[in-house]
Amino acid sequence: MDDKKKNHKLEDTSTSPIWDKINDEAEMLRSRTTPVYMKQRIMDALPEAPEPSKPWYKRVLDK
């Protein structure tokens, strides 16, 4: 029984090629940023002034 636990721990700590690939792809995705032109399009699409807040029951009935 103890041998199985030791073997299981060894498997968890060792890195395999699949995990290396997953970590590399995750790092690549983390480093992506939104292009400047897209940020400007988003900001242009936002309304100038926010709508005044309404009680929740009026917002539901307006839809």
Q: How far apart are CA 56 and CA 38, in angstroms?
A: 32
Which residues does 15 contact at the CB level (< 8 Å), separation at least 6? none
Tens of pLDDT along 12-63?
556 789 999 999 999 999 998 888 899 899 999 988 877 778 787 777 665 5
**In terms of pTM, does the model score above 0.85?**
no
CA 28 to chain centre: 13
Instruction: Report in angstroms the alpha-carbon separations of 44 from 13, 47, 55.
Output: 49, 8, 28
CA 61 to chain centre: 33
